Structures are given as structure tokens and as C-alpha cells.
Copies of this chain bind each other. A is one copy, B any other.
Amino acid sequence: MPATTRPTSTGDSRPSGARPVPGADEDDITRLRFVLLRLGRRLRHEGPEGITPTQLSALSVVGSAGSITIGDLAAIEAVQPPTMSRIVAALELDGWVERVADRSDRRVSLVRTTVKGEEELERVRAERNAFLASRLARLTPDERAAVLAALPSLEHMLQEGE
């Protein structure tokens, strides 16, 4: 019957030990985890037609990098090289990128967008943000400001390493 999502609190608010994060209790973290998982899933599903979210993300990186190796691409996208290998293969199959052999190191193949790939990037530019924009639009100005204020922090949380 419930149509809306809700944090699945199963008693996390009880301080069951140390509090590792000053200012944030277990319940906060559980809620944050929940909302990030759900929003991530929605975003993956609400993307533009014709290209998968993973492909689009990789294509964007290729577009901004100009020319890039599979390995660097994998590192930027935070996936393993074989995974990126397959992603690029799919992009190439659809004619959005092309592979050119590196002149100085014949092991590497450089990836760059085709004209068609650039056009695709242009086409989906607004579309891929539409879902998020619509959800942002119905927030109050204060709420929106809070989300934008958290953006740098979230990006900081994404960085690898200690």
C-alpha cells in the first residue's frame, strides 16, 4: 500500500558502540546511504534513450579528454580495465567513438569521439539532466540551497585514497 520510499530503520538510532563520525549518528548515516542508493538507481534508469548511462558517462569523458587510453578511462570512471574495454567496444559498435593506435606505444589504443559521438553528446545534454532538474525544481529554495551547498562535500567524499 505505501507508495513512497522510506528509510528502513531497523534500530540504527541506538548507539550500539563508538560513534566514529562526530556530529553524525548511525541513523543519519543509514538515511544517507538509503537516499544515495535510491537516487543513484533512479538516475541510472531515468537517463536519455538510445545510450546507456554507463556509455554516456564514458562518452562524456572521452569527449572532454579529446583522446584517452582505455586504462586512463577506466581509472577516471572507477571501473576495472576489462569493464571499460567492453564499454568502449559498445561505443565503437554504435559509431560514437573510434580507436586509433598510439604511434609510440603499440599496446595502447587511444579512444576519441567521432562526429556522430559529438552529436550524441549534444543531443542528450539536457535530456540526461532532466530527471534531476525536475526533482530539484520542486524543492523549496532553502532545500535547493542545502543540496547545492552539500555538493562540494559529496564530491570530496567521492575521492579515492585516504
Q: Which residues of A contact B (CB under 8 A)?
A: 1-12, 16-17, 20-24, 26, 28-44, 53, 57, 60-61, 63-64, 72, 75-78, 121, 125-126, 128-129, 132-139, 141, 143-162
Contact = CB atoms under 8 A, between A and B. Distances in A.
How many copies the complex holds: the figure is 2
A162 B131 CA distance: 12
9 contacts: A1-B75, A5-B78, A6-B76, A26-B125, A26-B126, A32-B136, A32-B154, A33-B43, A138-B162
Given A26-B129, A44-B37, A125-B12, A149 B151 contact: no
A75 B37 CA distance: 16
A3 B75 contact: yes
